[in-house]
Structure 1
Amino acid sequence: MASAEDDEMIYLGPVTFDEPIPVSAIPEEHGALQAASHVITIIYSGSGETRSLRGVDAVNEDDGWAWSAIWDTIHHTLETLARRHGRTLHTAATFASDGRGHGVLVVDAGNRLHDCQEDEDPEVHRTRTCSCYSWNPPSVEITEHERVPVPHAVPAGPFIDHIVTCADHGEVVCATSEHAAYFRREAHIVAEHTPRPLPLGPRPAAEALPARVLEQINEAAQELRRARGYDGGGAISYRDAARERTRRAEAELSESDLNDTVAALLQLCVELRAELSQ
């Protein structure tokens, strides 16, 4: 149901839990809601160490407008809290959007929040027969990774959600389809658990390059530094020397005992490191 990030929206009305959640048990999620205090009012019960989160409400009709991405974060946080702490969400909120007009906020039986436009039937969203989660992620080759188990199915009212958790990063995604969960799992493995051979700075590149290759690159960098002291044609000889050093580095690399994939990656390291060294 996420809308475009350039779409401004406002929600008026409460989204609450059937039973409050102790604030002391949810520091990260509570912080995320506090960061959005310019568009919502956080509703509490109790005080001090016994204070609990009851839900959120809009600030007011004038100040509650925000990018849809901010509202998506708020709703995702509430959904996550309900799932992890066994609560049920309730809402009587309405919304207005620059891009999608007006409507009501609907919570389905699996504690997902849906934007239901004024010409739609809310029951379609309550039963998840809507198109809110109908995106089709591209096919991926599933990579085994011991730190990120395969998705596991969890009951969500009459529905089944698919959760991916990571031993290092916690919950990665809670998706409505198994296919989407596998796609997000693969994306997480690539982003967070795959070694990056490409240099993120001089040191990673230096560690990846063979010593003879690195020596030539450093010599090329010295020639380029010498070239800075001359204007116009006076720098040509030093730049030519730097190019020759780079060609030698490439030749050394091609003679190294590396497979084609590693050689291609290190070839890029050579080029990038030469640029970084100028």
Structure 2
Amino acid sequence: MNCFKYLICLFLFVLLYSCEEEENVPQTKEKPMLALNSLIGVDSSIHVNLTMSTDLYEESHSITDAIITLYKNKQSLGQLNHKSNGNYEYPNYHLEGQTNYEISVIHPDFAEIKASTISPEKVIIDKVEQINNYKDGKTTFTLNFSDDPTKNDYYMLLVKGVSADFSQLLNYYSNDIVFEGNLAVNETDFEQNMLAGSRSFSDENSKSSQLTISFYLLNDEISTDISEYRIELYHLSKDYYNYERSYVAIENRDNLPFYNKTRLYSNIEGAFGIFSSYSLDLKTISKQ
């Protein structure tokens, strides 16, 4: 009997713990909120999507009549033009690196919202080398680039397979410490399971001015139609880094029996969304 009571108590504890974790999902709000989303690349035009919703995960409605003003280093550049479906664009301008940008949104039905980002400078890929090892079924790459050891930097690495007809995002794997268990092959504990699939990383484990990353593809996962690989290195703002990792953690919750409380990261006070930036450098190499 005592054993039976113990099992019942244990079941109730697990049930209550699971319910508590579900509270992490943003609850429906009676009053609608604005949702602003903009991830802008250096040397790219500036686009903003503005919607309204009562919940981050519910259907949103486009906002087409807001006044959105862009600032560069605290100086007004002017207003964005609405194009369609809540999408706004600042005309004839491209984002500059290492620059402070701020955006303000004014609408008669909502309080003014503001957000800012410091665009990162482009980090150049110095070299990419490809090594085929048919015995272990892998295609291995080494990537080299310069990194400033005096400050914290954030990156994301994407690998794409390119053919005459398509381009596809490829899964890659690595045991390098910079990924801290993000990639699926490195899943070893609870925290890493939450981040499985994230392709972002920081330089906090490196004190060198040169970063060398080794990663590999599994040959069985590579389409025979692919003729070349595109290696893309993104230099992220810290906000973009936090956003990407929170998004991956939320996506992974359905596959885990227990998980930490995680909210989709936002740098916009009083609204949903993200206003952030990145820079990109890439190398294309032929498939051997």
TM-score by length of 1: 0.23
Larger Rg, first or second structure (1 or 2): 1
TM-score normalised by L of structure 2: 0.23
Which one has a larger percent helix, Structure 1 or Structure 2?
1
